[in-house]
């Protein structure tokens, strides 16, 4: 346990949690952890090294020694796997789906806990994911659970991917997002759900700016 403050923002894919978390980290001058990127990189490493996405033992060994570096280039998060820039590669919906397969394995989640705790550095940490408020940082003082309808999340994802130069199809994205939501919420370990002390926000008809304002108000005491 430490006194270093943490703001956790959990929620399903496309709820806007990553954008809001980055804006909050910037506003507060705190560190930022994109926990989903860790699962995405692990899945990418498995694909690269021909490891089956269900091989729990091998994957948890890989998770322990994963050669992963995060750095910020202006607003963009640069992700290096074994020295190779995989920032774009890990953002496709297929990469998200592969990530949710490895993320359902208990030994993999356990192997990644310390790596996530290491991000808790002064002056504070903003983190987004699925289990930030429930499992990884249960003592965080500020917890938000952000959601939105699957259709709206698919539309947002479509825009985000387009901005990154990745072409996609909204209906296919909606189906993939729903499949991933089901896997993430029905798994036995650290399922997607709000922490008991989280503030729940439905962003279906709210713009990102309004969500940011709301979360800023919640954190007015930090
Ligand atoms: O947040 P993002 O969409 O990048 O996460 C990719 C996948 O990683 C999620 O669908 C989920 O299965 C997994 N994940 C997780 N726990 C987290 C963050 C992500 O299980 N804290």
| Domain assignments of the chain as residue spans, ordered by start | 6-218
Element (H, E) at 34: strand 31-34
Kindly give the distance from the C-alpha atom of residue 209 to the centroid of ligand 1, in angstroms, as a whole number.
23
Share of the chain above pLDDT 70, in %: 100
CA 85 to chain centroid: 18
- How confident is the model at residue 1, as a pLDDT? 60
pLDDT value at 24 more than 70? yes
**From 90, 94, 130, mutation site for ligand 1 pocket: most ligand atoms within 8 A of C-beta:** 130
pLDDT value at 28 more than 70? yes
Secondary-structure class of domain 6-218 per CATH: alpha beta
pLDDT value at 186 more than 80? yes
Write the CB contacts of 48 (distance below 8 Å, at least 6 apart in sequence). 81
Q: Which atom of ligand 1 is nearest to the CA of 103?
A: 20
Question: Angle, to 10 degrees, between the axis of helix 150-163 and the axis of helix 170-186?
Answer: 120
Is this structure's pTM higher than 0.85? yes
Write the CB contacts of 165 (distance below 8 Å, at least 6 apart in sequence). 88
Q: Which atom of ligand 1 is nearest to the CA of 39?
A: 8
Instruction: List the structure tokens of 206.
Output: 């709210």
Q: Considering only CA atoms, which residue is closest to atom 16 of ligand 1?
A: 130
Q: Residue 77, by phi and psi: left (phi above 0), alpha (psi -120 to 50) or beta? A: beta
List, for residues 84-123, the tens digit of each pLDDT value. Answer: 999 999 988 889 999 999 999 999 999 999 999 999 999 9
Share of the chain above pLDDT 90, in %: 86
Instruction: Report whether 192 contacts 130 (CB < 8 A).
Output: yes
Q: Round to the nearest angstrom and report the end-to-end CA distance of the chain.
A: 18
Pocket of ligand 1 (CB under 6 A): 13, 35-36, 39-40, 96, 99-100, 103, 129-132, 180, 184
List, for residues 134-156, the tens digit of each pLDDT value. Answer: 999 999 999 999 999 999 999 98
- How confident is the model at residue 155, as a pLDDT? 93
Kindly give the distance from the C-alpha atom of residue 5 to the centroid of ligand 1, in angstroms, as a whole number.
22
List, for residues 36-50, the tens digit of each pLDDT value. Answer: 999 999 999 999 999
Q: Considering only CA atoms, which residue is closest to atom 20 of ligand 1?
A: 103
Kindly give the distance from the C-alpha atom of residue 83 to the centroid of ligand 1, in angstroms, as a whole number.
22
Average pLDDT estimate for 72-92: 92
Q: Considering only CA atoms, which residue is closest to atom 1 of ligand 1?
A: 36
Kindly give the distance from the C-alpha atom of residue 11 to the centroid of ligand 1, in angstroms, as a whole number.
9
Average pLDDT estimate for 152-175: 90
pLDDT value at 83 more than 90? yes
pLDDT value at 195 more than 90? yes
Average pLDDT of every residue of the chain: 94
């Amino acid at each position: 346990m430490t006194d270093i403050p943490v703001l956790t923002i959990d929620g399903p894919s496309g709820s806007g949690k990553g954008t809001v978390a980055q804006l909050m980290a910037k506003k507060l001058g705190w560190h930022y952890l994109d926990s989903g990127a860790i699962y995405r990189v692990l899945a990418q490493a498995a694909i690269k090294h021909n490891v089956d996405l269900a091989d729990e033992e091998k994957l948890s060994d890989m998770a322990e020694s994963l050669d992963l570096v995060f750095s910020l280039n202006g607003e963009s998060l640069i992700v290096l796997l074994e020295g190779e820039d995989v920032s774009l590669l890990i953002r496709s919906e297929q990469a998200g789906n592969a990530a949710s397969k490895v993320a359902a394995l208990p030994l993999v989640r356990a192997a990644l806990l310390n790596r996530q705790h290491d991000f808790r550095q002064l002056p504070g940490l903003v983190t987004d994911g699925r289990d930030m408020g429930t499992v990884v940082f249960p003592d965080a003082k500020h917890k938000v659970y952000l959601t939105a309808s699957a259709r709206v999340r698919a539309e947002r994802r479509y825009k985000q991917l387009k901005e990154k130069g990745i072409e996609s199809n909204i209906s296919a994205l909606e189906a993939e997002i729903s499949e991933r939501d089901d896997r993430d919420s029905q798994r036995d370990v650290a399922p997607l759900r709000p922490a008991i002390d989280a503030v729940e926000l439905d962003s279906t008809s709210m713009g990102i700016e309004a969500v940011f304002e709301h979360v800023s108000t919640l954190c007015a005491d930090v």
